[in-house]
Amino acid sequence: QSALTQPASVSGSPGQSITMSCTGTSGDVGGYNFVSWYQHHPGKVPKLMIYDVTIRPSGVSNRFSGSKSGNTASLTVSGLQAEDEADYYCSSYTSYSTVVFGGGTKLTVL
């Protein structure tokens, strides 16, 4: 049950788009379309942004989008805004009937 691999940090200027990756294996990301993404502002509660690779829960901005290719999932944030600055975690269901998170990516809006 190794953690999914995420870059430690990404950054972009307001209005720009960024994409962050989440790499797993065929036993998790690659084997199921059950990848989710969470936004976590320090001191606050994690917020579900994407589930089932591409689906946005009600109330989540359409500036957030998800995709997957093979064992790597991606989260794209378009039209960056200051309030997007946060930690982002990917997660996947696994072949062991467990859930695994990535190590997290810190998004900085320059």
Partner 1 sequence: EVQLVESGGGLVQPGGSLRLSCAVSGFTFSSYWMHWVRQVPGKGLEWVSRIKTDGTQITYADSVKGRFTISRDNVKGTLYLQMSSLRAEDTAVYYCARDLISSRGLDKWGQGTLVTVSS
The smaller minimum CB distance to partner 1, of residues 30 and 104, is found at 104
24 is a contact residue toward partner 1 (CB under 8 A): no
| Contact (CB, 8 A) for 108 and 21 | no
Stretch that binds partner 1, among 13-21, 23-31, 70-78, 89-97 (CB under 8 A): 89-97
Task: Round to whole Å and give the CA distance between 88 and 71.
Answer: 18
Tokens of 65: 């989008």
Task: Round to whole Å and give the CA distance between 63 and 16.
Answer: 11
Contacting partner 1 (CB under 8 A), which of 46, 67, 72, 76? 46
- Return residues touching partner 1 (CB under 8 A): 1, 3, 34, 36, 38, 40, 45-48, 50-52, 57, 87, 89, 91, 93, 96-104
